[in-house]
Structure 1
Amino acid sequence: MPVVKSICRVCHGGCGALVSVEDGRVVKIKGDPQSPVSRGWMCVKGLKSPDIANHPDRLKHPLKRAGRRGENRWSEIGWTEALDEISNRIDDLRKTHGPESIAIGQGTGRHHYMHVVRFANALGTPNWYEPGLAQCFIPRITVSHLTYGGFVVGDYYGEVKPKCIIFWGHNPLVSSADGELAPAVKRAMTEGCATIAIDPRRSETAKRCKTWLAIRPATDAALALAMINVIITEGLYDKEFVATHTTGFDLLQAHTARYTPEWAEGVTWIKAEAIVNTARQYATSKPAVLDWGLGLEQNANSLQTVRAVAILRAITGNLDVPGGDILGMNILKGYPILKDKLPPDSSKKRLGGEEFKLLSSWRAYMPSAHIPALFSAMTDGVPYKIRGLLVFGGNPLLTVSNSRKVYEALNALELLCVTDLFMTPTARLADYVLPAAFWTEIDHVQGFPLVVENYAYAQTAVTQTAECRQDEWIIDELSKRLSLHGSDMSYKDIYAHQLSSTGLTHAALAQKGYHMPPHKYRKYEEHGFRTPSKKVELFSSVLKRMGYPPLPEYAEPPESPVSSPELSAEYPYVLITGARNKEFFHSEQRQVASLRRLHPEPSCELHPKAAAATGISEGDWAVVSTIRGEAKFKVHVTEDIHPQVISVEHGWWFPERDNELESLWESNANCLTADTPPYDPAFGSYRLRGLLCNIRRLNHG
């Protein structure tokens, strides 16, 4: 039985995989013990990949809508016909209404991510998005570049092990996010280091930590500022590093004097003594990793929260040192996204560009559209109407806030084309549905962890399912028909370009399994940091020039027991959404029986005190409500959550039901979340956590 080396991409990915093929079908997946990071480990989703690849409900042929939107009536058409018709309709829209009238969307962390951005730039539309961006990862990347001149990740695979790890709003033992894989994190946790989790719920990662701080959602900036206060006041900062490699320390010291642990206790629900002890332990247990997650970004104070946490690394001297938070090697050449091909006049039309400079303007790390503005423009036409949307591996009806508005917006489009593995609620509304290739059916090159690229893998297509095609191939074919810039350079040509700095071909890398050169630490000692001052900018000169506070500040969440006492009387609990499941990746895999059996129903977590107050018991079905809507979940009563917090899973729909489109309203967390102002002033982040909610028991399931 042929066995091929690859990497699993059933989620953000990065686990080395050995793919066994028989009669043209994937029959077995197991972990590759030679992977430098996963070392043979795989999660249940990866191991069950054959069940996904061979699922009878896979989309297998291009489809054209034959009935009304959502009616689920289709005609099979050939690839040539489908691509011709779609490209003709795109061409009509761009010539009649301008390329900005066409939006490009995608899911998170996929192999085709950069190719989608390239396609948008070549087409001339500034309006591309993915459901994270301002809510996931872009704030951390941007702030890292503003502060240190590059992104950082925990050094979990070096010879020196961390002596302390803080997991802040992050659950890597389940998410394995962005190539920072669970097994590497777990190994570091078991080698005698201090471990601290800062999270309103005791996640799977937090349960393995020695200390758990159950913070009030969306108050993380207050905790970080208080920790900075303690570290500076007690002289625990790295005096040599701060003096030699940072700017603005005196200003930071004066600025944070008022953010005392006692003040933070009243804001965060965390005792002042615990704040002091955590700051001391992090500052004195070196090297240390501060492993942050998207829990910091899904609020209206995203920039300042991430900035405050980022500064902790710098003042303790844990930057780019063995066993600390390390800057990337960037071993691959940059992906040619054709940013220079987007006309200046088009970039000025990007939705959100005038308001959210770190998301949508030229200053942004990856300039993209503001999602609430984008979907509003589909219906209200302000400042102009979005008429077409092409989605590659995304399901915005489940993964974008305010699902009912998204539903209205998708129905208002003149063209909706969706490329995916399965028929999703979003695909049900499309004019064209194109069958995507699974990760065992694609060729790809990927550097991990994402953005820093300290090692690289190659994937090789080992199987073919019916007429399924790789997203990059589909984009290339559309680009050729539209005569776009770069259409003469295929996605495989791009992989060769990326690998040219390593001296490897795609075939050679695939055979080798991985490329991981020795890591170089303290790179700043040679050339400084890639900031205007060549130093770590505690006081950000760039933010000051842009009109944003150059030092981090705390802002009370706009919807909270403090800022909204009257609303809090009706909605007495604080909601967090987005809890990860090891069985699913966001809204995917709900139709895979072997995974669904392990986690059959959407769940919410609440504390025994909350359960007693509301008359709810373990296993009950309950309705969680906010001022925006309701959603139904099965209750898990647990001590592993703050008594005033309720946590709900996201991404739930029921593909097994005949009325699957209607079922998306039943347990959809994004019927509860907020896509309305106030947004983060720089990123436009909308609120997925820290919202007020209530819960009531259902009499029946």
Structure 2
Amino acid sequence: MSDVEIIKTACRNCHGSCVADVYLKNGKIIKIKPDKNSPLSRGRMCPKGLSGIELVYHPDRLKYPMKRVGKRGEGKWQRISWDEAYDIICDNINEITEKYGREAIAVGHGTGRHHMNQVIRFANTLGTPNWFEPGFAQCFFPRIAVAKMTIGEFMPCDYYSDVNPECIMVWGHNHIKSGHGGENMFLIGDAIKKGSKLIVVDPRRTELAEKADLWLQVRPGTDAALAMAVVNVIIEEELYDKEFVEKWTYGFEELKQRAKEYPPKKVSEITWVPEEQIIQAARMFRAAKPGMMEWGLALEHTCNCVQAVRAVGLIPILTGNIDVPGGWVEGMKLIDPPSKNLDRLPLEQQYKRLGFGEYNLLTALDAPNPGSHIPTILEAMKTGEPYPIKGLLLFGNNGLLSIADTKNTYEAYMANDFICCMDLFMTPTAEISDIVLPAASWLELNEIIGYPAYSANTVLVQKQIVRTHECKSDEEVFCELSKRLGLDWGADKPEDIYNQQLKVTEKRYPEYKGIDFDKMKELNYISVPIEYRKYEKSGFKTRTGKAELYCTQLGAWGYDPLPYYVEPPETVYSQPELAKEYPLTLTTGGRSIYFFCTENRQMPSLRGKHPFPLVEIHPDTAKKHGIEDGDWVYIETPRGRITQKAKVTDGIDPRVINCEYGWWYPEVKTPDHGLWESNANVLTPMSGPYDPAMGTYL
């Protein structure tokens, strides 16, 4: 194979960064294998990454820019040049901003991969405060924001030290099959094999729950109550780390009083988790040290998500599992994210951010990453209140599937005067656009990655190995649009930004003096050893310098500084009359290892293993309704009805069903590509109430 070149790059088919060996022959990728020496994935990759060849050379990839020539959503397109596409985009941006102001342009991105910070940078440079991402207030970022307020940093789990965690508590997460960090599916398995005890909190008997020493089958949406009951036991039985709590936490007495409101017996009735299991979980996690908490986005899919996340996050804090080997660890910050150019966005524009003054953790000037409130953006599109949104620029944003209440989202998107969508494939969202741009895949672009996210203990490089058709990276498009619009983007090409980022590496770590993107391409990845208990030198990066059990930032904004539980707005308890017609509790948390959000359903090797969406139904419920395993069934809520295939299993409560998220049918050749058939968000609400601090819906 002397004529075959092997190139290392980082896979970004999810938010993770598994290192891949890519085999190139005559300019074409012929094989992808995991890199045995990867500091993160350690020689493993999931099926999504291994299907990269199918992604790059898929015949249905968007290949060149196109403009709509029929009615919007009619599916009639004409190929155009990049120059013409840029001209049309710039003309529409200028026309809308002249009539309505820069704030009338909304900029949306999808999952938080290579282009996330660059999209925010482009919005700020453009002068609009209204950027958004479908999961921003209900997927991952609430955990990041809450962690920053509580312990100063988002701290990932430490799978990389010589100390194996004695116990892992997995809350609303099934990362053996799904999740934003792909390598974690392997690392948690390694830890379990080495002897880690496992506690799983989930309404479903997931693959991880099958392996658990203790499974708490929680009622969907009641996580805050359950977590506060665990906190109650930890405090009342004095299971907390007394030295750490006394020296390094703020607000213990206030938390102690609040926790008294959540005794296990009372919470058992709320959550459906037996009282003795709640007590056992608290004792088990404290007895095993170190312990780590793996928490998932299920916590963030409620209108009380901030307090749910706060409550769960207090468990490792009280037990002293912060910045210790085998616990949660603060990152080494080998690199910083690229500048978001917030200084380019005038203060008067920041005050116009939709949701500003209401949801401070999301929109305030001192929020960790100020963004706009999606329900308010959609309302502005539909009604022009509080001011009109007339233009929509989308980058990897399949919002018709990934935003709640699809009918409402569709109506709002359609109300725009101009929509531009950049993506890998012609998605249902791209189909209602005016201009469609072909995006480069993870094997077709250059990028620098600090990983884990917000920690950057490792820096990896993503390389442009091939480039198909006329595809471009999002970053290239932002550079060119900025030039044509006369904006101060701050870089002539994407690599300039990566070199700016690496200046931080050079400054913080002198051993990497002279590092730049070209050098990184030679090195492939760099890492530094993790230092522990960094708070002992300089305290926590919070307002008090301590881990805040009582959150002073929330208090300063006028929100409750202590966690609490509220009953979700649509349950058998909060709406008993509605429950007569809709007696089952629906959760839409189901994921598959073969897909990521709404992606990958075109890939033969992946779709072949999971061809249809599945709804999990308990045997008793199935029998009551005459349903057998494998039947196509209707699932209905007050918003609409979809169909998925029944998976009859005793791994779910008879009062609950779980349907899979993100389903559309690329093989359906009508312009909506089956958008309305199996899409879980046809069923979900967005009408409020919203989380007081974050604006989260559901």
Does the Cα contact within 8 Å between 2:227 and 2:311 map onto a contact in 1? yes
1:293-442 pair list within 5 angstroms: 293-442=296-445
CA distance in 2, matches of 1:333, 1:221: 32
After superposition, where does 1:193-212 map in structure 2 within 5 Å? Answer: 193-212=196-215
What are the residue-to-residue correspondences of 1:490-639 with 2, within 5 Å?
490-500=493-503, 501-502=505-506, 503=512, 504-639=515-650
- Of 37, 59, 62, which residue of structure 1 is paired with 2:62? 59
Whether the 8 Å contact between 1:618 and 1:637 is mirrored in structure 2 is: yes
- 1:480 pairs with 2:466: no
> Shift of the alpha carbon at 1:483?
1.2
Shift in CA distance, 128/491, structure 1 to aligned 2, threshold 3 Å: same
- For residues 277-306 of structure 1, give each alpha carbon's deviation from its aligned partner in whole angstroms, at most 9, with x where no partner exists: 000011121100011011001001111111
Query: Residues 554 and 180 of structure 1: is their aligned pair in 2 closer, same or farther, counting only changes over 3 Å?
Result: farther
Paired with 1:480 and 1:175, the residues of 2 have a C-alpha distance of: 39
Residue of structure 2 aligned with 1:290, choices 288, 293, 296: 293
Structure-2 separation of matches of 1:179 and 1:600: 21
Amino acid at match of 1:668: N
2:669, 2:601 → 1: CA distance?
Answer: 14
What is the distance in 1 between the residues matched to 2:517 and 2:420? 31
For 2:677, the equivalent position in structure 1 comes to 666
Name the counterpart of 1:646. 657
**SS of structure 2 residue aligned to 1:117:** helix
Distance 1:5 1:673, change over 3 A: same
Amino acid at match of 2:115: H
Q: With structure 2 as the length reference, what TM-score do the two structures score?
A: 0.97
Please tell me whether the aligned partners of residues 529 and 535 of structure 1 are also in contact (alpha carbons under 8 angstroms).
yes
CA distance in structure 1 between the aligned counterparts of 2:476 and 2:495, rounded to whole angstroms: 9
Q: Using the alignment, how far apart are the partners of 2:239 and 2:539 within structure 1?
A: 24
Paired with 1:24 and 1:466, the residues of 2 have a C-alpha distance of: 13
Shift of 1:251: 1.3
> In the alignment, residue 345 of structure 1 is paired with which amino acid?
E
Note if 1:470 corresponds to 2:481. no
The aligned residue for residue 697 of structure 1 is: none
For residues 391 and 206 of structure 1, the distance between their equivalents in structure 2, rounded to whole angstroms, comes to 37
Shift in alpha-carbon separation, 1:618–1:179, aligned structure 2, 3 A: closer
Whether the 8 Å contact between 1:24 and 1:464 is mirrored in structure 2 is: no
C-alpha displacement of 1:556: 1.1
Q: Please report how far the alpha carbon of residue 73 of structure 1 lies from its aligned counterpart in structure 2 after TM superposition.
A: 1.3
Q: Deviations over 1:113-172 (max 9, x none)?
A: 100000000111111111111101111111111111111111111111100001100111
Separation (CA, whole Å) in 1 of partners of 2:189 and 2:345: 43
Give aligned pairs, total: 687
Which range moves more in the overlay, 177-186 or 198-207? 177-186
Conserved? CA contact 2:427–2:673, under 8 Å: no
Aligned counterparts of 2:603 and 2:60: Cα–Cα separation in 1? 9
> What is the match of residue 509 of structure 2?
none
CA drift at 1:177: 1.8
**Cα distance in 1, alignment partners of residues 407 and 613 from structure 2:** 19
Is the CA contact (8 Å cut-off) linking 1:178 and 1:448 kept in structure 2? no
- Aligned position for 1:159: 162
Aligned with residue 101 of structure 2, among 89, 98, 104: 98
Alpha-carbon shift at residue 184 of structure 1 (Å): 1.3
Q: How far apart, in 2, do the equivalents of 1:658 and 1:64 lie?
A: 18
> How far apart, in 2, do the equivalents of 1:630 and 1:189 lie?
40
Partner letter of residue 24 of structure 2?
V
Relative to structure 1, the CA distance from residue 449 to residue 261 in structure 2 (aligned partners, 3 Å threshold; closer, same or farther) is: same
Give the structure-1-normalised TM-score.
Answer: 0.96
Q: Counterpart amino acid of 1:194? A: K
**2:471 aligned with 1:459, yes or no?**
no
Kept in 2, the 8 Å contact 1:631–1:666? The answer is yes
* Greater Cα offset, 265-274 or 254-263: 254-263
Query: Could you tell me whether the CA contact under 8 Å between 2:64 and 2:79 is conserved in 1?
Result: yes
Question: Cα offset for 1:660?
Answer: 4.6
- Residue of 48, 53, 71 corresponding to 1:50: 53
Secondary structure of 1:442's partner? strand
Mapped to 2, the partners of 1:302 and 1:362 lie a distance apart of 21
Query: Which residue is equivalent to 1:240?
Result: 243
Residue 110 (str. 1) matches residue 113 (str. 2): yes
Once the 2 structures are TM-superposed, how far is the Cα of residue 645 of structure 1 from its aligned partner?
1.1
User: Is there any run of 5+ residues in structure 2 with no aligned partner, and where?
Assistant: 507-511
Counterpart residue identity of residue 545, structure 2: K
Moved more, 642-651 or 436-445: 642-651
Give yes or no for contact 2:129–2:371 (8 Å, CA) kept in 1: yes
| Alignment pair present for 1:35 and 2:46 | no
Partner of 1:690: none
Contact 2:20–2:34, Cα closer than 8 Å, also in 1: yes
Report percent identity of matched pairs. 47
Q: Which moved more, 1:640-649 or 1:117-126?
A: 640-649
Q: CA RMSD in A?
A: 1.2
SS of equivalent residue, structure 2 residue 134: coil
Residue 119 of structure 1 aligns with which residue? Answer: 122
Q: State which of 6, 9, 19 in structure 1 corresponds to 2:22.
A: 19
Give, in whole Å, the separation in 1 of the partners of 2:522 and 2:220. Answer: 46
Letter in 1 for 2:648: V
Structure 1 letter corresponding to 2:576? P
Contact persistence 1:32–1:41 (CA under 8 A): yes
CA distance in 1, matches of 2:5, 2:337: 33
Contact 1:18 1:32 in 2 (8 A): yes
Give secondary structure in 2 for the equivalent of 1:419. strand
Give structure 1 stretches of 5+ with no counterpart: 688-701
One-letter code aligned to 1:575: L
CA contact (8 A) 2:174 2:207 kept: yes
Give the corresponding residue for 1:78: 81
**2:431–2:671 contact (8 Å) kept in structure 1:** no
Q: Tell me by how many angstroms 1:419 deviates.
A: 0.5
Name which of structure 1's ranges 215-224 and 568-577 shifts more when overlaid on structure 2.
Answer: 568-577
Report if the CA contact (8 A) 1:448-1:454 is conserved.
yes
Alpha-carbon distance in structure 1 between the residues aligned to 2:99 and 2:547: 48
Q: CA, structure 1 residues 64+661, in 2 after alignment: closer, same or farther (shift >3 Å)?
A: same
Work out the CA distance in 2 between the residues paired with 1:636 and 1:188: 30
Superposed displacement of residue 487, structure 1: 4.4
Instruction: Output one character per residue of 1:81-125: Cα deviation in whole Å (capped at 9) or x when no partner.
Output: 211221121122112210100000011122111000000001111
* Cα gap change, 1:590 to 1:430, in 2 (>3 Å): same
